[in-house]
DNA sequence: CGACGGATTGAGGGGATTCAAATGTAGTGG
DNA sequence: CCACTACATTTGAATCCCCTCAATCCGTCG
C-alpha cells in the first residue's frame, strides 16, 4: 500500500492553506484535496480563459504564469514555487487569466473551489489563511510594480535574486545556493529587461564577487552586498 | 434629522462589498460599517506600518497609495476611485503596507475587519464578493505589471487613459470626458515615466486628435484609436 | 497682483535595446 | 553512446528611447 500524500504530512503545509489550522481541521481540508497528475517540463497546467474549477498548490517543481500580448508574445507575470497557490486572480469571473506552464517536472495538489468555499464557512482559520495568502500575493505584486518602475536593470536583478533566495529559505531550502529553473529569457521577460541585459549583469555581478553563476546554478557569495544593490 | 449614508442606497454598492447580497443581507452589512470623517486634499488616510483594523471603501473623491523607497521617494502603486476598497494588501500581517493620501476631498466608509470576518461566515455571498474584489485587484496589478514591462511610454499612457475611462464608465460617469485628480508627476511615477515624458506624450496625443487635454480635464476623442495605441 | 506649485518645451546624455555573431548546453535520433 | 541539431547564453557594436537638466509658461490661491 502506497503512502499517499496528505496535507497532514506535507512539508509545504506551513506556507500553504493548512497554516493556522489544527490537525483535525487540516484533516478536513485534506479530504477535499486531490493530487494532480505530475507535469513534465513545458506541460501546460491551465490555459487562459479556461474555466476555473480548482486552485492548484505546488508540491514540488516550479511553474511560470504568463499572458499573451497582441503579437502573441509571452508576458511573464509570476513564477510559482512549492507551497504557492495558483489561480486566485481568476476568482473574479471564474476564468483563469493566464497560461501556467511547468518549468520542470512538477507535482501539484488540486483544490475544488466549491468545496473550499463551503469548508471555509465553518473554519475561520481557513478563511483567514485564504485572505492572507491572497493578500500576500497582492502585496508582492504591488511591491514588484514599485521595484520595476523605479529601479535600474542591476537593481531589478539583484532584487530578483534576493527575493528568490528568501523564498527558498522559507521553503527550507538553501538561501545561499539554488537552481534557476527558468531561462535567462524568462527572467528578462519577467523583469522587463532583454536577455542580453540579464546576461551582462549576471556576469558583472559575478566579476564583482557578489554571486557565482554557473549555468543555472546560483551561489550568493555576499548577500548583504547584493541586498545593498537592490536599493 | 439627517439622512445618513447606508449601503442600501449607496450608488457604489454594485462595485463594492454589497454586490451579490440581498437587501436584507446588505442591511446586515450596513450595521457594521461606519462613515469616516471626510478627507481634504493631501490628508493621509493611513500610514505604512499602521495597524490594519479597518478596510476603507471610497464613496466619493479619489486617493493614491504609495510606498517610500530608500531615499524617501514616493512609489505610487495605486489610484483609488469610488467603489474601491482599500487595505487588502495588508491582511497578510495586519499592517498597512503603504501610505494612502487623498487627491481631493474624499468621503469614505470604514469597515471593521473583525466584524467583516464574522459576518462573512454566515453570508456566502459576502465571502464570495470579498474574494472577487481581491481577485480583481490582483488581476489588475498583474496586468499592469505586464503592461509596464513590455510597452513604450506612449503605450503605457494610452493604456492608463483607456483603463481610467472604463473605470469611470463602471461608476456611471462619463467614459469620454473626465478629470485627472492626480498630477502629471503622479501619473509618471505610477507608470514609471518622467513628468516630462508624460507631458510630451499627452501633447502628442492631442496633436494627433486622439484626445483633447485641457489642464486636468481629458476628453477622449477617438477611443478606438487610443485603444489601438495600447497594443 | 504676486508667488508658488504644476505643466510644458527644448537640448543633451546615458542606460538599455536591438542587431549580429560566436560559444556553450541540452535534447534527439541514429 | 555519440553525433547532430536546436536552443540557450554570452559578448560586442551601434542605435534609440527616455531621462536629466534647464528654462519658461500657466493656473491657482493667498
Nucleotide C16's nearest residue (CA vs C1') is A197
Provide the residue ranges of all domains of chain A, joining segments of one domain with +. Answer: 7-136, 151-228
Q: How far is CA A68 from the centre of its chain?
A: 19
C-alpha cell at B42: 493631501
Strand C nucleotides within a 7 Å radius of protein CB atoms = 6-11, 15-20, 24-27
Q: How far apart are CA A146 and CA B19, in angstroms?
A: 31
CB-based contacts of B102, cutoff 8 Å, min separation 6: B39, B40, B41, B42, B43, B44, B45, B61, B62, B63
Question: Tell me, what's the pLDDT at B66?
Answer: 96
Interface check A20 vs B, CB under 8 A: no
Q: What pLDDT is recorded for position B3?
A: 56
Task: Please give the grid coordinates belonging to residue A179.
Answer: 537552481
Distance CA B78, CA B64 (A): 6
Q: Closest CA to D10 C1' — which residue? A: A199
From chain A, pick out residues whose CB is under 8 angstroms from the CB of B194.
none
A191/chain B closest Cα distance in angstroms: 7
Among 1.10.10.10, 3.10.400.10, 3.40.190.10, 3.40.50.1360, what is the CATH number of A151-228? 1.10.10.10
C-alpha–C-alpha distance, residues B188 and B103, integer Å:
15
With beta carbons under 8 A apart, name residues in chain A contacting B75. Answer: 146, 149-150
Contact A49, A8 (CB under 8 A): no
- Distance of A153 CA from D16 C1′ (whole Å): 17
- Name the region of B135 (left: φ>0; alpha: ψ -120 to 50; beta: rest): alpha
CA distance B49 to B100: 12
Query: By the 8 A CB rule, do B60 and B36 touch?
Result: no
Query: In the 3-class helix/strand/coil scheme, how is A139-181 assigned residue by residue?
Result: HHHHHHHHHHHHCCHHHHHHHHHHHHHHHHHHCCCCCCEEECC
pLDDT band at B5 (very low <50, low <70, confident <90, very high): confident
Whether residue B73 has pLDDT greater than 60:
yes
Give percent of chain B above pLDDT 90: 96
Q: pLDDT tens digits for B196-218?
A: 999 999 999 999 999 999 999 99
Nucleotide C8 C1' to residue A150 CA (A): 23
* Domain made up of A7-136: CATH architecture: Sandwich (2.60)
Burial zone of A4 (CB within 10 Å; 0-12 exposed, 13-18 middle, 19+ buried)? exposed
A167 shares contact with chain B (CB less than 8 Å): no
The pLDDT of residue A3 is: 56
Q: Which residues of chain A are modeled with pLDDT < 50?
A: 1
> Measured between alpha carbons, how far is B208 from B28 in angstroms, rounded to an integer?
52
Q: Distance between CA atoms of B48 and B46, rounded to whole angstroms?
A: 7
Q: Which residues from A are below 8 Å from B121, CB to CB?
A: 121-122, 124, 127
A139 interaction partners in chain B (CB closer than 8 Å): 89-90, 92, 97
Residue A169 cell numbers, joined: 529559505
Asked whether residue A192, judged by its CB, lies under 7 Å from any atom of the DNA or RNA strand C, the reply is yes
Q: What is the pLDDT of residues A74-111, one digit of tens each?
A: 999 999 999 999 999 999 999 999 999 999 999 999 99
Q: Are A49 and A67 in contact (CB under 8 A)?
A: no
Which long-range contacts does B195-204 make (Cβ < 8 Å, 24+ apart)?
A: B197/B153, B198/B157, B201/B153, B201/B154, B201/B157, B202/B157, B204/B154
Distance in Å, alpha carbon of A4 to nearest chain B alpha carbon:
31
Determine if the pTM surpasses 0.85.
Answer: yes
Distance B137 CA to C15 C1' (A): 32
Scanning B28-87 for CB atoms below 8 A from A yields: 67, 69-70, 73, 75, 77-78
Among B91, B135, B146, whose Cβ lies nearest the Cβ of A67?
A: B146
Which has more confidence, B230 or B1?
A: B230
In the structure grid, which three cell numbers stand for residue A18, read together? 493548512
In whole angstroms, give the CA distance from residue A210 to residue A158.
Answer: 10
**CB–CB of B92 and A143 under 8 A?**
no
**Which residues are within 8 A (CB) of B1 and not within 5 positions of it... i.e. 6 or more apart?**
none
In whole numbers, what is the pLDDT of chain B averaged over residues? 94
Nearest to A134 among B75, B138, B189 (CB): B138
Q: 3-state SS string over chain B?
A: CCCCCCHHHCCCCCCCCCCCCCHHHHHHHHHHCEECCCECCCCEEECCCCECCEEEEEEECCEEEEEECCCCCEEEEEEECCCCEECHHHCCCCECCCEEEECCCEEEEEEEHHHHHHHHHHCHHHHHHHHHHHHHHHHHHHHHHHHHHHCCHHHHHHHHHHHHHHHHHHCCCCCCEEECCCCHHHHHHHHCCCHHHHHHHHHHHHHCCCEEEECCEEEECCHHHHHHHCC
> What pLDDT is stored for residue B196 in this prediction?
97
B157 has pLDDT over 70: yes
DSSP string, chain A: ------GGG-TTTTTSTTTT--HHHHHHHHHH-EEPPPBPTT-EEE-TT-B--EEEEEEES-EEEEEE-TTS-EEEEEEE-TT-EE-GGGTTTTB--SEEEESSSBEEEEEEHHHHHHHHHH-HHHHHHHHHHHHHHHHHHHHHHHHHHH--HHHHHHHHHHHHHHHHHHTTS-SSEEE--S-HHHHHHHHT--HHHHHHHHHHHHHTTSEEEETTEEEES-HHHHHHHT-
As a whole number, mean pLDDT of residues B84-100 equals: 95
For chain B, say whether A139 makes contact (Cβ under 8 Å).
Answer: yes
Q: What is the pLDDT of residue A25?
A: 95
pLDDT at A56: 97
Pick the residue of A71, A135, A170, A187 with the most B CBs within 10 A to test the interface with B by mutation. A135
User: Given this chain, do its domains A7-136 and A151-228 carry the same CATH topology?
Assistant: no
More confident residue, A2 or B187: B187
- Per-residue pLDDT of B6-16, as tens digits, reads 999 999 999 99
Amino acid at each position: 500500500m502506497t503512502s499517499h500524500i496528505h496535507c497532514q504530512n506535507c512539508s509545504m503545509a506551513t506556507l500553504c492553506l493548512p497554516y493556522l489550522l489544527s490537525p483535525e481541521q487540516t484533516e478536513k481540508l485534506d479530504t477535499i484535496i486531490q493530487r494532480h497528475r505530475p507535469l513534465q517540463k513545458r506541460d501546460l497546467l491551465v490555459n487562459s480563459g479556461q474555466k476555473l474549477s480548482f486552485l492548484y498548490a505546488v508540491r514540488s517543481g516550479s511553474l511560470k504564469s504568463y499572458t499573451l500580448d497582441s503579437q502573441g508574445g509571452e508576458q511573464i507575470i509570476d513564477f510559482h514555487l512549492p507551497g504557492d497557490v495558483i489561480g486566485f486572480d481568476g476568482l473574479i469571473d471564474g476564468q483563469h487569466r493566464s497560461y501556467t506552464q511547468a518549468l520542470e517536472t512538477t507535482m501539484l495538489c488540486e483544490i475544488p473551489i466549491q468545496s473550499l468555499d463551503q469548508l471555509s464557512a465553518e473554519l475561520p482559520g481557513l478563511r483567514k489563511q485564504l485572505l492572507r495568502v491572497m493578500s500576500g500575493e497582492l502585496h508582492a505584486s504591488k511591491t514588484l510594480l514599485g521595484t520595476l518602475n523605479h529601479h535600474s536593470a542591476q537593481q531589478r536583478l539583484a532584487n530578483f535574486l534576493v527575493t528568490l533566495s528568501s523564498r527558498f529559505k522559507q521553503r527550507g531550502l538553501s538561501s545561499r545556493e539554488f537552481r534557476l529553473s527558468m531561462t535567462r529569457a524568462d527572467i528578462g521577460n519577467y523583469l522587463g529587461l532583454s536577455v542580453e541585459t540579464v546576461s551582462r549583469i549576471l556576469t558583472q555581478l559575478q566579476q564583482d564577487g557578489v554571486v557565482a553563476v554557473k549555468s543555472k546554478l546560483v551561489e550568493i557569495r555576499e548577500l548583504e552586498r547584493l541586498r545593498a544593490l537592490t536599493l
